[in-house]
């Protein structure tokens, strides 16, 4: 069953074409990695899938029942967040906002969900710590826990490992794998770390202003573009 199907979609960015002619689909329980160089249009595509940006042409059809309030999102960190005075608990709780409907306050149900996700991300001891005082890896876990609070079906991650050291990056990818396998949440991740992408993802979408490859990870490894991108040909 396809969760998301994209047909011939294109996006413009500030009037210039960013990506064009994308055709791909994402199944329930899939793990799709969107790879490509910086400025290839990866983040624009994610914004489009989140309905923050309208495609200039083509259609994105999303399976009935997948509402905006069932999507989890891990955005790239902003400057605002770097010195934001909030506790870990407050940040994760804010992920439950889309469950509230018109209620003004969180109930016990949301608070239990926060506890569960803090445990899942192994950050329960950090719950009263200040977000801005955490390490980069810890901050990403907090934001991942927040994203889990807002979804049961689909999570989109935009360069989750940006700026993290290799050890922490590995731990983060393991967590994402668990989310995909154990919780059966569909994962769509943008990354320019191609080696981890082929290690974890089930499908690969390679962009460079247009679609260079879409298919399973195994096919990608054997394709010419895949070999070139993974081998010495990587231009950062």
Binding site for another protein (CB under 8 A): 14, 50-52, 67-69, 71-73, 75, 78, 80-81, 83-87, 90-91, 93-95, 97-98, 100, 104-106, 129-130, 133, 146-147, 150-151, 156
Instruction: Give least dist CB 9 to another protein, A.
Output: 18
Query: What is the DSSP secondary structure assignment for residue 210, as one 8-state letter?
Result: B
Task: Compare residues 86 and 183 and give the one whose CB is closer to another protein.
Answer: 86
Alpha carbons 187 and 156: distance in angstroms, whole number: 6
Instruction: Give least dist CB 64 to another protein, A.
Output: 16
CA angle 215, 217, 223 (to 5 degrees): 75
Residue 164 burial (CB count, 10 A): 17
Which H, E and C letters describe 108-173, residue by residue? HHHHHHHHHHHHHCCCHHHCCCEHHHCCHHHHHHHHHHHHHHCCCCEEEEECCCCCCCHHHHHHHH
Task: Compare residues 79 and 236 and give the one whose CB is closer to another protein.
Answer: 79
Task: Compare residues 143 and 172 and give the one whose CB is closer to another protein.
Answer: 143
Instruction: Give least dist CB 231 to another protein, A.
Output: 35
Instruction: Give least dist CB 87 to another protein, A.
Output: 4
Task: Compare residues 105 and 235 and give the one whose CB is closer to another protein.
Answer: 105
Instruction: Give least dist CB 234 to another protein, A.
Output: 28
Task: Compare residues 149 and 194 and give the one whose CB is closer to another protein.
Answer: 149
Which H, E and C letters describe 81-119, residue by residue? HHCCCCEHHHHHHHHHHHHCCCCCCCCHHHHHHHHHHHH
């Amino acid at each position: 069953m396809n969760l998301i199907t994209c047909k011939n979609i294109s996006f413009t960015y500030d009037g210039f074409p960013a990506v064009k002619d994308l055709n791909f689909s994402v199944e329930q329980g899939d793990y799709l990695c969107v790879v490509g160089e910086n400025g290839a249009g990866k983040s624009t595509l994610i914004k489009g899938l989140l309905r923050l940006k309208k495609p200039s042409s083509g259609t994105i059809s999303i399976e009935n029942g997948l509402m905006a309030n069932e999507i989890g999102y891990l955005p790239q960190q902003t400057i605002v967040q770097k010195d934001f005075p909030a506790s870990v608990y407050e940040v994760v709780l804010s992920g439950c906002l889309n469950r509230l409907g018109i209620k003004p306050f969180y109930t016990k149900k949301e608070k239990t969900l926060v506890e569960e996700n803090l445990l899942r991300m192994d950050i329960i001891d950090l719950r009263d710590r200040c977000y801005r005082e955490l390490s980069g890896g810890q901050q990403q876990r907090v934001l991942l826990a927040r994203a889990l609070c807002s979804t049961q079906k689909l999570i989109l991650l935009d360069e989750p490992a940006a700026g993290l050291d290799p050890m922490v990056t590995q731990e983060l990818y393991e967590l994402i794998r668990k989310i995909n396998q154990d919780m059966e949440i569909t994962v769509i991740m943008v990354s320019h770390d191609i080696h981890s992408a082929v290690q974890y993802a089930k499908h690969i979408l390679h962009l460079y202003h247009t679609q260079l490859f879409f298919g399973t990870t195994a096919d990608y490894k054997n394709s010419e573009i895949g070999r070139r991108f993974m081998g010495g040909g990587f231009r950062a």
